[in-house]
Chains A and B, each alone.
Chain A
Amino acid sequence: MLLQQLVNGLMLGSSYALIGVAFTLLLGIFDMLNIAIGEVFMLGAFFGLTLVAAGVPFLPALLVAMVLAGLVNLVVERFAFRPLRGTPPVIPLLSSIGFSMLLQDTAVNIWGSERTQFPPSMRVVTFELGPVLVSSVQLAILGTAVVLMVTLHLLVQHTKIGRGMRAVAESPDTASLLGVDAGRVIVATFFVSGALAGAAGILVGLTFSVVSPFIGIEIGLKGVAAMVVGGAGNLQGAMLAGPLLGIAEVLSVAYLGAAYRDVVVYGLLILTLVARPQGLLGAVERARV
């Protein structure tokens, strides 16, 4: 069932796209790779799970989890990035890895290291579209991802803070000369990036219906792959590459066996880095948001 696999891949990939976008925002604007995004994503899943388990309906749970995840990412910015401004990019990369370890262990201590069942938050209805089966959960995942990405696009293109982001991405020095408050732009971008990762957490929780403190590294690295394949620093690229990777993964599970899913994803990542470092949609000179 090729068509069914494509649909499943698209659903899975829309979550990768969201995490990829969360990574891309920070890399495209400030040249920062925040590995802790993976753990923010994982925490988002647990926030969502806790809220849904407490009886909160899906939509408000999603929004609250996004805000909480955004705030966690602000803490990451405050301790792992702000004190290290001005050092080569690999230094904050390492400190964000340190923060990941801290966040992961904290989650293990709060929620335990076992896989936790995500409570069913909505009535599952299955639709038959010709030969393809689509569940209401899948539609909710895809719909949420699309709405979030469109909102992000509007934010970046048509708001004052979005103009600030684009200005800083172009040239931090010129932007500050022109009166852009770089500090505010950084805080806003980290918050948005964390919120998107948190939303992806809930969506992945819905997709697999189990959450564990260790999904952060696993799925987070897929987000990094989506970012690179799409063209590091290019938002549209990450949005496109996420579904591509999801489809590649689902197809490799179907035709090569589940064992090779990660080889295919990371193989694509390395192939892109070596053959076309600017990614699918990245500019040759310097990737921009």
Chain B
Amino acid sequence: MLSDYQQTLLLLTGINVLLGWSAYLPLATGQLSLGNAGFMAVGAYAASLLTVQPRWPLLPALVAGALLAGALGLLVGFPALRLRGIYLAIATLGFGEIVRTFFLNFEPTGGPMGMRGMSGTTPGLVWAWVGLCGLGLFALAHSRLGLALDAVHDDEVAAELSGLDITALKVGAFGAGAALAGLGGGLYAHYILFIEPGTFNFLESITMILFVLLGGMRTFWGTLIGAAVFTILPDLLRGLQDWRGAFFGALLVAILIVRPWGLLPRETLRIPLRRLAGAGERP
């Protein structure tokens, strides 16, 4: 049997995998969102409001939180279509700050005092969601839709010229990412049992990007590895204490310098395969 401590790590890893995927999906279409902590907050607060006051069961409350975050994601995704690269990152960052400020002033959820009264997440429940979403992403990676997302990522103009609906793909990926962040937020709130606006800050959004980067920007399973490493590593590094932030910052810079596309980009696996396949053709 797992100890309490191991169960906690397992649960947090699962939540972080979902949050990592929430950053991965927009990134798969070339959109860097620095505001996913905002969507996470919406999911966390919405699900908590539903389980604490009308006493909804956890499952429908989680789904409702995810859907609300997803709908908000679609709403943000449309105007964000006009923005690229750095400017999209700035706009989403501003969005995240606005959401945080909103909950700081929203009395029904306790404002700056935060909110309690939730209960109920288990590692099994979290990993059931991870499994479900993982299956979805697996199916996506092996479908025409997945190819279409790749095409948008690699060359938007060419993708549009070959008849792809860029708007639907980009806004869809953005909204789906937001929904995943909302789901992760709902699970997080029902595990940690206390949420406050300060939790959902800029740094939280960055951490989600970190999971993706560490695992490799263009494979959904890479995020799984990235989230696991980043959840377990800080615990192994407890000795660092006050220098943890500095350590992670330096690690982020180092990863980017060594592998700007993440530690395990798709190509790492492809190249040996291609070599094997092409071995016979060489003169």
Contact = CB atoms under 8 A, between A and B. Distances in A.
Interface of A: 27, 31, 33, 79-80, 83-84, 87-95, 97-106, 108-109, 217, 221, 224-225, 228, 232, 259-260, 262-263, 266-267, 269-270, 273-274, 277
Contact of B87 (A88, A103, A225, A277): A277
A224 B242 contact: no
Contact of B246 (A106, A224, A263, A274): A106
Could you say which interface size class chain B belongs to? 35 or more
19 contacts: A27-B86, A79-B253, A89-B85, A92-B256, A93-B86, A94-B256, A95-B256, A97-B252, A98-B249, A101-B246, A104-B245, A109-B243, A221-B94, A224-B90, A225-B94, A267-B98, A270-B98, A273-B79, A274-B83
Contacts, number: 125
Contacts of A101: 203, 206, 245-246, 248-249, 252
Nearest to B246: A105
Secondary structure at the A interface, as helix, strand, loop or mixed, is: helix
Contact of B202 (A99, A217, A263): A217
Contact of B82 (A228, A262, A269, A277): A277
B242 A105 contact: yes
Given A93-B89, A106-B246, A267-B98, A80 B260 contact: no
Contacts of A221: 93-94, 97, 202
A244 to B, nearest CB: 16
Contacts of B91: 269-270, 273-274
Contact of A90 (B89, B97, B203): B89
Contacts of B249: 97-105
Contacts of A102: 245-246, 249-250, 253
Nearest to A88: B85
Q: Can you list the 10 inter-chain pairs with the closest CB atoms, starting with the nearest?
A: A101-B249, A98-B252, A102-B249, A105-B246, A105-B245, A266-B94, A98-B253, A274-B79, A95-B256, A98-B249
